[in-house]
Amino acid sequence: MEEKSLSPQALSLAGLAVEFCKVLAHPEDYAPQDFLRECIRYIPRIYIAVSDIKPYEGDTGEAYDEYEQGAMSGNVTEEQYDIIREGIAGLLGEYDVYLDTPVEDMRFSDTPVGVSLAEQLADVFQVLGDFASTMSVSDEISAPDVLADLKYAFHTYLSDVLCSSLRAINMLYQSQALLEE
């Protein structure tokens, strides 16, 4: 009997997730501007790769509301999440928090809503870390469910986090504010 293997698209996405998680896990290895540049390099690629994934054969990729959750193992611990968040916040310093107008709390309020870029990137790390670690032990049978779980997370919140964090990172990177530190 022939053993089936994971699709190149799924393997590529898992590899991309691992690469980005390595960057997020070790912000101390980067100067702030270099860290931002790495984020700018990865975030659009991740967005495109996840949006292009079609978990099941014949899938249009848009049936995410029908996907069942729970195929990804929660391997990223709260302690790991906090370490990532604190490391990125330490690197960004006073530039960690920015005003994000699309935040629901700000729609009908005159009070600005501050969002932590470090927290957003830690959220991305958690999803991608859980995805990559689950894929590393998945086979051809379980991989589509893991991809569907990722696709569900993407459509329900991860896509928004990726877009808003990329916008904030780009503004910070282009301003070169962290070079002046």
Reported as a single tens digit per residue, the pLDDT across 33-79 is: 999 999 999 999 999 999 988 877 766 656 656 666 777 888 899 99
Does this model's pTM top 0.95? My answer is no
pLDDT of 1 reads: 37
Q: Is 172 helix (H, G, I), strand (E, B) or coil?
A: helix
CB-CB contact of 165 with 172 (8 Å): no
In CATH, which of 3.40.50.150, 1.20.120.1550, 3.40.50.720, 1.10.10.60 is domain 8-56+63-179?
Answer: 1.20.120.1550
Write the DSSP symbol of residue 29. G
**Domain coordinates of the chain in residue numbers?**
8-56+63-179
pLDDT of 2 reads: 42
pLDDT of 139 reads: 81
pLDDT of 6 reads: 64
Distance CA 72, CA 56 (A): 16
Distance CA 115, CA 108 (A): 17
DSSP string for residues in 69-107: S--S---S-HHHHHHHHHHHHHHHGGGSEEE-TTSGGGT
Q: Which residues of the chain have pLDDT under 50?
A: 1-4
